[in-house]
Structures are given as structure tokens and as C-alpha cells.
């Protein structure tokens, strides 16, 4: 819908210096708002599912402290983000999300598109790197039906950017090592693990003192820590 549209950044004059750094914030905002007005005009000429689109450029702005960000639990159930793709789906809890209007989960059980997967067909169908000039990416249904995995990855947990040449060296650092969920940044991994997989601090575990020593053998002790329970 927006193919071929060019939005100039300097409608009212450039707000950047020779290093592309902002030197006039007010002019930058005016140029940005003009781009928003242009996009609104384009969208107002479209019709989606028989309904006319009504769009307008909003100048009111939103303060950061007025935004209510979703919890990490909600994000884990509804969002899959990668370097160049963001997927947002409804969950199966109708107290959280309205019932789906399509049968997409008959095709995608969890609602999310699987990671693109590159293969080569030289001496048989084999996994390939995304930057291999002879590789080809399978269609959705081929991807879901062919049981080929890169390395030791699991099909359901395969990071979405596995075959993306520009970020393939960052896959491990962007993947949660506990649930294998992939994120487009290490900061998002940190926030996810902090909320979903909190570590138990050593001093948070209650200490259990033995009732008495039951036996000794060289450098080993057998202690009774509770009635009828032995700890070696």
C-alpha cells in the first residue's frame, strides 16, 4: 500500500547537520508531523474489508509515564519479535482476548509463523546458511512438513533469525537459555529472564541444621536433619 511513496525529511528545511545529527528539534518535529499528515492522506484513500479508513496525524503526543506497558507474562504469550518482524497474536484465554475470527490456528497451532528455513538440494535436501548463494527458502507448508533442522535446534524453538545473515552471529546472545525464546536484543532477553525466570538467591533458601551426627567416615559425615531422614 505504501510502495513507491517517498517521505522527505526536510519539507520545511533540514534539521540535521553534516553528521546527520539533529540541531533543531522544533524543525525536526514539524518535518515529522508533515510526514504523518502525508501518510494519513494515503490511508484515507484505502478501503479494508469494505470499510473506509479514517486516519489523522496526531500532534498531542504521549508522555512516557502515561503509557502502560504490558507485562512480560503477556508479551511471552502474545508476542514473537525478531530483527525485521513482529508477530502479535491472540491467546486462547477468552478472558484476555476475544475469540479468533479466522481458522488460522488450524494451520498454525500456536498462531505464530515458524522461522524461515534455508535448504540446498545438492546431493539431497540439506539445511543451509541464509547467506549460501545456492540456498532456497521453503514455502510455509514445505517448512512445516519437512523434518530438517539446523544443527541441534528444535523446530518449535528455532530462533526466527537463524537464517538471517546480518544477525546470525548474535542468535545465542539474543535467545533465552531457559525457554529458548528469541528476542531482537539482549536487553529484551534480560528483561524477560528477570520477570519470567527469576533466579533463587542463595540466601533466600532456608538453612537446615542437622539434629545430630549419625556417623563419620574419613572426610564424610552422615547427619540426621529430620526424624528418620539422613543427609550425607
Alpha-carbon distance of 160 to 137, in angstroms, equals 13
Beta-strand (E) ranges in the chain? 47-48, 51-52, 79-81, 86-88, 118-120, 126-127, 136-137, 212-217, 220-226, 229-231
Give the CA diameter of the chain.
87
* The total number of residues written for the chain in this structure: 232
> ∠ at Cα 123 (115, 121), nearest 5°?
35
Q: With H, G, I as helix, E, B as strand and everything else as coil, classify residue 16.
A: strand
C-alpha to C-alpha distance for 117 and 94, rounded to whole angstroms? 33
Question: CA-CA distance, 44 to 75, in Å (whole number)?
Answer: 31
| CA distances in angstroms from 201 to 187, 192, 205, listed in the order given | 21, 18, 7
User: Does 124 score more than 90 pLDDT?
Assistant: no
**Has residue 63 got a pLDDT over 90?**
no
- Mean pLDDT computed over 35-54: 88
Closest CA to 86 of 113, 53, 122, 120: 113
Least confident interval from 29-33, 60-64, 169-173, 201-205: 201-205
Q: Which residues contact 224 (CB under 8 A, 6 or more apart)?
A: 210, 211, 212, 213, 214, 230, 231
Residue 65 has pLDDT above 70, yes or no: no
Residue of higher predicted confidence among 148 and 22: 22
pLDDT score, position 123 = 79
Rounded distance, CA 120 to CA 114, Å?
Answer: 19
pTM of this structure = 0.57
Q: Which three cell numbers stand for residue 186?
A: 539482549
* Residue 190 scores a pLDDT above 90: yes
Please give the DSSP secondary-structure letter assigned to residue 191.
Answer: H
Q: Which residue has the cell 508522555?
A: 63
Amino acid at each position: 500500500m505504501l510502495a513507491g511513496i517517498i517521505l522527505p525529511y526536510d519539507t520545511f528545511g533540514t534539521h540535521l547537520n553534516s553528521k546527520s545529527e539533529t540541531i533543531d528539534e522544533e524543525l525536526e518535529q514539524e518535518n515529522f508531523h508533515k510526514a504523518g499528515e502525508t501518510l494519513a492522506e494515503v490511508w484515507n484513500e484505502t478501503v479494508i474489508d469494505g470499510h473506509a479508513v479514517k486516519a489523522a496525524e496526531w500532534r498531542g503526543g504521549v508522555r512516557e509515564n502515561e503509557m502502560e506497558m504490558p507485562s512480560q507474562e503477556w508479551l511471552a504469550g502474545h508476542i514473537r519479535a525478531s530483527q525485521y518482524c513482529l508477530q502479535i497474536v491472540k491467546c486462547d484465554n477468552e478472558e484476555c482476548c476475544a475469540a479468533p475470527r479466522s481458522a488460522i490456528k488450524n494451520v498454525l497451532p500456536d498462531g505464530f509463523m515458524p522461522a524461515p528455513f534455508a535448504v540446498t538440494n545438492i546431493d539431497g535436501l540439506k539445511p543451509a546458511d541464509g547467506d549460501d548463494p545456492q540456498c532456497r527458502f521453503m514455502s510455509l507448508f514445505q517448512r512445516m512438513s519437512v523434518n530438517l533442522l539446523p544443527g541441534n535446534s528444535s523446530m518449535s524453538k528455532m530462533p526466527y533469525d537463524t537464517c538471517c545473515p546480518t544477525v546470525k552471529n548474535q542468535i545465542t546472545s539474543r535467545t533465552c537459555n531457559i525457554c529458548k525464546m528469541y528476542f531482537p536484543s539482549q536487553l529484551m532477553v534480560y528483561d524477560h529472564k528477570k520477570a519470567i525466570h527469576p533466579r533463587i538467591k542463595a540466601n533466600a533458601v532456608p538453612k537446615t541444621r542437622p539434629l545430630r551426627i549419625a556417623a563419620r567416615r574419613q572426610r564424610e559425615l552422615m547427619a540426621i536433619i529430620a526424624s528418620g531422614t539422613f543427609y550425607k
